[in-house]
Amino acid sequence: MKKILLVEDEKNVASFVKKGLEEEDFTVAVANDGAVGWNMAKTERYDLVILDRMLPGMDGMEICNRIREKYKYEIPVIMLTALGSTEDVIAGLNEGANDYITKPFHLRELTARVRSIFRQSEAEKGDVIYRIADLELNDDTKTVTRAGDIITLTSKEYRLLLYFLKNIKRVLSREQILENVWNVEFDMGTNTVDVYINYLRNKIDKKYTPKLIHTVIGMGYVMKEA
């Protein structure tokens, strides 16, 4: 399921867009402040960011610029704004936006633009391969190898490993892992994450060096070379 970050200070507009996109099977997180939106964009990986331009805290152009500095063009950006002059559109596209939609807008058009960007991204990707040390995951063929050995994983183990590989060197809390791998909110009474971390370690770390999954006491887990 594609994850979208919507940064929009008009709460009615944000609620309308969030509801519409979620009905199309996207997961949508909302920030009503520019600074909050940038903090979310830099700490959590999204498949697409939709930005208003005139925002409290930090304007949308600055957020787009920072996304490009941090992620290059790996994360597409759509500007959704009332600033609709030719100069505004050119400025937004020159700043790195993939698309520019002016308010008022039709939700069907926004949804179509979102799907178009995702189709284009998938067509340009080719094989999506993640690597760390001698571990390799091919997300197109859904295969995992370490030191040339084929590693057989369950679907949940695979999704857990993929999440780690997309967030190398970042400490991930149990809450983040549950929300992103299992799509559920954190339950203080569950040890599901710890159990699956152990399963994954037994398959990708136990007989190999360097160890890749590390416990950060009191905080969660991190994938990195020791």
Q: Single out the residue of 153, 76, 152 nearest to residue 121, CA to CA.
A: 76
Give the global pTM.
0.57
Q: Single out the residue of 198, 193, 199 nearest to residue 152, CA to CA.
A: 199
Specify the higher pLDDT residue, 190 or 163. 163
* Spans of all domains in the chain: 3-125, 129-223
Q: Which residues contact 32 (CB under 8 A, 6 or more apart)?
A: 8, 9, 11, 14
155 CB neighbour count, 10 Å cutoff: 8
pLDDT digits (tens, 9 = 90+) for 130-148: 999 999 999 888 999 999 9
Mean pLDDT value across the chain: 91
CA dihedral 126, 130, 136, 142 (to 10 degrees): -50
Do residues 223 and 212 make contact, with C-beta atoms less than 8 angstroms apart? yes
As a whole number of angstroms, the distance between CA 71 and CA 8 comes to 21
192 CB neighbour count, 10 Å cutoff: 15
pLDDT digits (tens, 9 = 90+) for 91-129: 999 889 999 999 999 999 999 999 999 888 766 655 678
As a whole number of angstroms, the distance between CA 126 and CA 194 comes to 33
Q: Is 80 exceeded by the pLDDT of residue 161?
A: yes
Angle at 200 between CA 197 and CA 201, to 5 degrees: 85
Q: Is 90 exceeded by the pLDDT of residue 154?
A: yes
- Domain at 3-125: CATH code: 3.40.50.2300
For the domain made up of 129-223, give the CATH fold: Arc Repressor Mutant, subunit A (1.10.10)
Q: Which residues contact 16 (CB under 8 A, 6 or more apart)?
A: 107
**Which two structure tokens, joined as six digits, stand for 114?**
């979102």
Q: What is the mean pLDDT of residues 219-226?
A: 93
**Three-state DSSP string of 131-157:** EECCEEEECCCCEEEECCEEECCCHHH
List C-alpha distances in Å: 184 to 20, 26, 40, 165, 208. 21, 15, 19, 20, 32
